[in-house]
Amino acid sequence: MADYSIWIVEYARVVEYPVGAVLYGRWNAGHLVLPYCYAVVKGEGHLAVVDTGFNYAEFGKVLADTYGVSDWRGADVVLGRIGIDPAEVDTMVLTHNHFDHAGGVEFFPNAHVYIQEREVSNYLWAHGLPARLQWLTTAVDPDLMLWLVGRMKQNKLTLLKDETEILPGVRAIPALDTHTAGSQYVTVENGRDGNWLLAGDNCYVYESFTGANDDGVFVPIGLAFGSMERCMLTMEEMWQYVDGDVTRIVPFHEQRLWETFPSFQFDDTLHMAELSLAAGEPSRVEAAKAEARGTR
């Protein structure tokens, strides 16, 4: 069985985000803190990221400012905190083409990229639509597709069509017509501590699974370019994969990650959570705590 370390790094946040945009139908439920995170998976001779964050420059800056995103830090900073140089990352899985997940691809110059083919082919379909339907490409930018052309020419791109084992025990699972046309999530079968599921935006917060009133009735995500039915059925598939243990599902916008797992909050208020440690891998949380004790 494979043995991986898994960390979730927070690289920015929205301090006041409408709950109704996170959980479908909860229009008058106020606001929450929405962290922006991605995952680092290390083991079996590989170093992988699931999503990339975004670059707070040009496109990313305009969107971040418009959304009210604050406290942004680049991959060099948030990965540097766990002793990782972004240039060492050899594998990049993009759960979907939205700026806060796929807008930081250039931070990882040596990574082989995995994205669902459907996330790409959907733009051929969209081109044939009348302008009045352009909302369907609202949240995406052409830059990633053009950047991927360069990656393809360097033989560092794989377009996925089906469930695919990317690394030993690490699989990309298509979640088509959900949050986006070609969304996917990632599963990790860890010999040491069981199954993990890195959700991307196939759920934003645990409450999608635990229910709005903690009644166990699933609540779909607040934004879907595909269908709510597909979102719900994908959530069921995810829930089945972790045998109903919702803490094994890792949403990338869930602030309760920091209390669910060993974590550390840095001086700039951003967090890092340590989900799993491979044999011989030192704890980054303990190291950060020790360093903080030494400097405070």
Partner 1 sequence: MSAAVVEELYGRYKRAALATGATLLLDEDPAPLAKAAAGLLADSRAALAGADGAVAAPLEACVRASAELHALLARAVADGSSIGAADADRVRASHSDLRREVWKVIPCEYVPCSGVHRHDHRHER
176 binds partner 1 (CB under 8 A): no
Are residues 237 and 174 in contact, defined by beta-carbon separation less than 8 angstroms? no
Tokens describing residue 122: 């959907």
For partner 1, the closer of residues 223 and 287 by Cβ is 223
* Residues touching partner 1, count (CB under 8 A): 48
Q: Give me the phi and psi of 247, to 5 degrees please.
A: -70, -10
Q: What minimum distance in Å lies between the beta carbon of 77 and partner 1?
A: 24
131 binds partner 1 (CB under 8 A): yes
211 binds partner 1 (CB under 8 A): no
142 binds partner 1 (CB under 8 A): yes
Residues 6+ apart with CB under 8 A from 206: 246, 247, 249, 251, 254, 256
Among 6, 50, 63, 198, binds partner 1 (CB under 8 A): 63
Among 44, 71, 90, 117, binds partner 1 (CB under 8 A): 117
Which helix (H) or strand (E) segment holds residue 272: the answer is strand 271-276
Among 4, 7, 17, 185, binds partner 1 (CB under 8 A): 17
For partner 1, the closer of residues 21 and 287 by Cβ is 21
Which helix (H) or strand (E) segment holds residue 231: the answer is helix 228-241
For partner 1, the closer of residues 59 and 266 by Cβ is 59
Site string for partner 1, 26-55 (x = CB under 8 A): -----x------------------------
293 binds partner 1 (CB under 8 A): no
Bridge pairing between strands 91-93 and 46-50: parallel
Helices then strands (H, E): number in the chain? 9, 14
Residues 6+ apart with CB under 8 A from 216: 209, 210
Q: Give me the phi and psi of 136, to 5 degrees please.
A: -65, -20
265 binds partner 1 (CB under 8 A): no
Span from 62-70, 191-199, 202-210, 251-259 in contact with partner 1 (CB under 8 A): 62-70
For partner 1, the closer of residues 123 and 266 by Cβ is 123
- Distance separating alpha carbons of residues 113 and 155, to the nearest angstrom: 10
143 binds partner 1 (CB under 8 A): yes
Tokens describing residue 237: 């598939």
- Distance separating alpha carbons of residues 279 and 268, to the nearest angstrom: 30
Site for partner 1 in 86-115 (CB under 8 A): 99
* Torsion 43-256-269-108 (CA) sign: positive
Among 27, 29, 58, 236, binds partner 1 (CB under 8 A): 58
227 binds partner 1 (CB under 8 A): no
- Distance separating alpha carbons of residues 149 and 87, to the nearest angstrom: 20
147 binds partner 1 (CB under 8 A): yes
Binding site for partner 1 (CB under 8 A): 14, 16-18, 20-21, 31, 58-59, 62-63, 66-68, 99, 117, 120-124, 126-127, 129, 131, 134, 137-154, 157, 159, 222-223
